[in-house]
Structure 1
Amino acid sequence: MTVNIVVTNQSFPSNIPSGPVPRERQSVASDPQRDRAPSIRDVARLAGVSHQTVSRVLNNHPSIRPETKARVQQIIDDLQYRPNRAARVLVTSRSQTLGIIAADSSQYGPASGIQAIERAARAEGYFVNSVSLDSTDRESIELGLNHLLDQAIEGLVVIAPQVRVLETFNNMNLTIPFVTLQSAGSADHALSVDQISGARLATRHLLDLGHRNIYHLAGPQDWVEAEARMHGFLTEMSERDVPATAPILGDWTAEFGYRAGRELLRVRDFTAIFSANDQMALGLIHAIREAGLNVPGDISIVGFDDIPEAAHFWPPLTTVRQDFGELGRRSVELLLGKIDPELGYGQTLVPELIVRASTAPPAR
């Protein structure tokens, strides 16, 4: 069992007047014999104020005179003093910290979700602690969760692409606000992008162009998004009364897309492929061009995610874009109580089809 724990913190610089450091401050700040971190009482003694005054400076209390604040802040900088956050939590019962637990942060979707949450949390004055799990058994999940709870997090975001991880969380009795970013989670806590709708947009685009022989290169079977995108593909094909072959289960990598493309081209009984993500689509384009065929002249390709490189594939990739920024903002606002849970949870964001040069009508 391996649990990777990644803790991210943010620090914010202050604009403090500079000047020579008094001799007394120099002796404290540069004393090589110091065997402990400076305390709030050290700051107070050197600044000639009470420790309550230092506390007010740290909390931006409006009653502190500007010259006193500047003097105390200068001592804080000289000593490189950092407030004891654990002590502040005990006093205020607020850690200003949110937690993220991610079962797989290596893929574009989960990584983008984490980044979006961190940006949204910073905008609200919050820190973010993240735990990335290598194993998805219950013991690993509980270990990672307990680490975050020990940091006194005020809310939790669960980014769990695998069905089994969501099932584990749904069976836990969490006492803090939490959000799951997958539609397969409990509706009481879920917030997600409508993966089925996105897959239907991609499939409908190919059908509207005139394609009828369409393959779907799916993601891993246990992934929530892969299952939803496969469902969207099959639903759209069925409603348009177009026969569909069984989807091919992939692993999200360009290498798999390349190998799958080479195998499919042995028969070449299709004119278009909807890939469940952009990386596999890249591998497909590689295989098609290596075989001397043209995208989209011979075969059209649609991806999913709109990774930053998708616009620079050759040809630029038609794909489905997810608004991770909005997803992060809403999840943080839900955790902080800025959105009515009755209205906020269970919502899905509608993705957008981005049409580029990798799709065209089938060759006649």
Structure 2
Amino acid sequence: MPQIDPPRRRRVSMADVARLAGVSTQTVSRVSTGYSGVDGSTRRQVLAAMKELGYRPNGAARALKHGEFKTLGVMLGSLADTGSGRILESIAAQAVLAGYAITLIPVQAPTRSGFIGAFTRFDELAVDGIIILMKAQLLDEVGMALPPTLPHVVVVDSDISHRYSTVDSDHAEGVRLAVRHLLKLGHRTVWHVSGPEQSAAAIRRAVAWRSELEAAGQTIPPLLHGDWSARSGYVAGLDLADRPGCTAVLAANDQTALGLLKAFQERGKDVPEQISVVGFDDIPEATSFIPSLTTVRQDFAEVGRLCLQEILHQIRGEGSRRTQTLVPAQLVVRGSTAVSRACGTATSGSPPSASAG
């Protein structure tokens, strides 16, 4: 015998509350939107009726009264990478403190139809602003413009000279700190295994790496491209292990560095006695690598906090729609870097000016 689904329960309306409370729908509307000109006993009567019926005030109605929906949209491409996940976590925590909810919409395929669908959905859900955790240039590549009536912040993997407001880590400064650290340890040059060629962050890091070596008058080795993964670091490491002039490597991120360490171990290259390795991100597991990883720390929590702060400023009309904010990076020196053999006995450590962690 076929199973019959129970009838769907009708959503409780404002008129239902008004009938139970013995008041007009206008009075219920005033209570639900926070209007102060309602008698105390009447207010309590209406709230009691709302509770009994399970009525939820319409967010759009509250927005008409107060000018805000108290909801922010977050568009992102993936949560798989370290930065997006940790920045999103910070944004969500800060939003709660500010009294806002988060509506998350992933855009798996960065196509025009994908972006239109996401923006349309945000419009239907009535958000006060949109935070985009993906490369801003993708919008231009498909001919998309952000809705002009919505405040917005573009956060991760974006060109800071772009026409949208951005909050991001200072990738270039982080790379400069890493390269200078390795050169001070006596390494003649620094090899670099970069992130994907289409990544704005990877491009900025590669440009900073090349510029720092040029400024120091050092030879610039060929750039090796990776994809942020340990696998790509492993493949690059097998190549670098066979290059006699390679004594120092800057990895695109800590996952890439993990792959390098595995390849060097398999090829009998001791880290840091023969090759020094520096990562980027400072993931929680970096201290558990063997050896513990010297890396560039990105303050993802601060990026998220400033991102939320910036979009709230825009919503309240307190800020510009084209601000660029860079969060400083920090070099954290651990056991994967050491003085080059060309300078004498290899000892783990760093100049006094570097920070330990």
TM-score between both structures, scaled by the size of structure 1: 0.80
Report the Cα distance in structure 2 between the residues aligned to 1:47 and 1:111, rounded to whole angstroms: 46
Report the Cα distance in structure 2 between the residues aligned to 1:117 and 1:344, rounded to whole angstroms: 20
After superposition, residues 110-121 of structure 1 pair within 5 angstroms as: 110-121=84-95
Opposite residue 190 of structure 1, the aligned amino acid is T
Are the aligned partners of 1:163 and 1:223 in contact in 2 as well (CA < 8 Å)? no
Opposite residue 204 of structure 2, the aligned amino acid is A
Report the Cα distance in structure 2 between the residues aligned to 1:263 and 1:311, rounded to whole angstroms: 25
Are the aligned partners of 2:154 and 2:164 in contact in 1 as well (CA < 8 Å)? no
Q: How far 1:83 moved relative to its partner?
A: 2.4
Opposite residue 320 of structure 1, the aligned amino acid is V
Are the aligned partners of 1:183 and 1:193 in contact in 2 as well (CA < 8 Å)? no
Q: How far 1:359 moved relative to its partner?
A: 1.3
- Candidates 127, 137, 154, aligned match of 2:101: 127
Report the Cα distance in structure 2 between the residues aligned to 1:64 and 1:220, rounded to whole angstroms: 60
The 1:309–1:43 alpha-carbon spacing in structure 2 relative to 1, beyond 3 Å, is farther
SS in 2 for 1:131: strand
SS in 1 for 2:119: helix
Other-structure match for 1:273: 249
SS in 1 for 2:243: coil
SS in 1 for 2:219: coil
Gaps (5+ residues) in structure 2? 1-5, 345-357
- Candidates 249, 257, 268, aligned match of 2:233: 257
SS in 1 for 2:72: strand
Q: How far 1:317 moved relative to its partner?
A: 1.3
- Candidates 326, 331, 346, aligned match of 2:307: 331
Q: How far 1:33 moved relative to its partner?
A: 6.7
Are the aligned partners of 1:272 and 1:301 in contact in 2 as well (CA < 8 Å)? yes
Identity %: 36
After superposition, residues 349-360 of structure 1 pair within 5 angstroms as: 349-360=327-338
Opposite residue 39 of structure 1, the aligned amino acid is S
Report the Cα distance in structure 1 between the residues aligned to 2:142 and 2:176, rounded to whole angstroms: 29
Other-structure match for 1:211: 187
Question: Deviation per CA, 1:11-41, whole angstroms, max 9, x where unpaired?
Answer: xxxxxxxxxxxxxxxxxxxxx8773022334
- Candidates 298, 301, 315, aligned match of 2:277: 301
Question: Deviation per CA, 1:48-85, whole angstroms, max 9, x where unpaired?
Answer: 55555555554566677888767765654554432232
Q: How far 1:323 moved relative to its partner?
A: 1.9
Q: How far 1:362 moved relative to its partner?
A: 1.9
- Candidates 331, 346, 349, aligned match of 2:324: 346
Report the Cα distance in structure 2 between the residues aligned to 1:187 and 1:82, rounded to whole angstroms: 39
Q: How far 1:116 moved relative to its partner?
A: 2.1
The 1:61–1:174 alpha-carbon spacing in structure 2 relative to 1, beyond 3 Å, is closer
After superposition, residues 141-160 of structure 1 pair within 5 angstroms as: 141-160=115-134
After superposition, residues 1-364 of structure 1 pair within 5 angstroms as: 35-47=9-21, 51=25, 54-55=28-29, 58=32, 76-90=50-64, 92-161=66-135, 163-165=137-139, 168=142, 171-172=145-146, 174-181=148-155, 182-187=158-163, 189-337=165-313, 340-342=318-320, 345-363=323-341, 364=344
The 1:88–1:212 alpha-carbon spacing in structure 2 relative to 1, beyond 3 Å, is same
Are the aligned partners of 1:198 and 1:352 in contact in 2 as well (CA < 8 Å)? yes
Question: Deviation per CA, 1:112-149, whole angstroms, max 9, x where unpaired?
Answer: 22222222222211112122111122222222222212
Report the Cα distance in structure 1 between the residues aligned to 2:97 and 2:293, rounded to whole angstroms: 33
Report the Cα distance in structure 2 between the residues aligned to 1:320 and 1:166, rounded to whole angstroms: 30
Q: How far 1:190 moved relative to its partner?
A: 2.5
The 1:58–1:235 alpha-carbon spacing in structure 2 relative to 1, beyond 3 Å, is same
Opposite residue 226 of structure 1, the aligned amino acid is A
Report the Cα distance in structure 2 between the residues aligned to 1:69 and 1:175, rounded to whole angstroms: 35
Report the Cα distance in structure 2 between the residues aligned to 1:166 and 1:208, rounded to whole angstroms: 41
Opposite residue 257 of structure 1, the aligned amino acid is G
Q: How far 1:264 moved relative to its partner?
A: 2.0
Aligned residues: 333
Other-structure match for 2:355: none
SS in 1 for 2:166: coil
The 1:288–1:152 alpha-carbon spacing in structure 2 relative to 1, beyond 3 Å, is same
- Give the superposed CA RMSD: 2.9
Opposite residue 263 of structure 1, the aligned amino acid is D
The 1:170–1:197 alpha-carbon spacing in structure 2 relative to 1, beyond 3 Å, is farther
Are the aligned partners of 1:194 and 1:348 in contact in 2 as well (CA < 8 Å)? yes
Report the Cα distance in structure 1 between the residues aligned to 2:331 and 2:317, rounded to whole angstroms: 28
Are the aligned partners of 1:155 and 1:176 in contact in 2 as well (CA < 8 Å)? yes
The 1:46–1:164 alpha-carbon spacing in structure 2 relative to 1, beyond 3 Å, is closer
Gaps (5+ residues) in structure 1? 1-31
Report the Cα distance in structure 2 between the residues aligned to 1:343 and 1:102, rounded to whole angstroms: 20
Report the Cα distance in structure 2 between the residues aligned to 1:115 and 1:285, rounded to whole angstroms: 29
Opposite residue 116 of structure 2, the aligned amino acid is E
Q: How far 1:159 moved relative to its partner?
A: 2.1
SS in 1 for 2:338: coil
SS in 2 for 1:319: strand
TM-score between both structures, scaled by the size of structure 2: 0.81
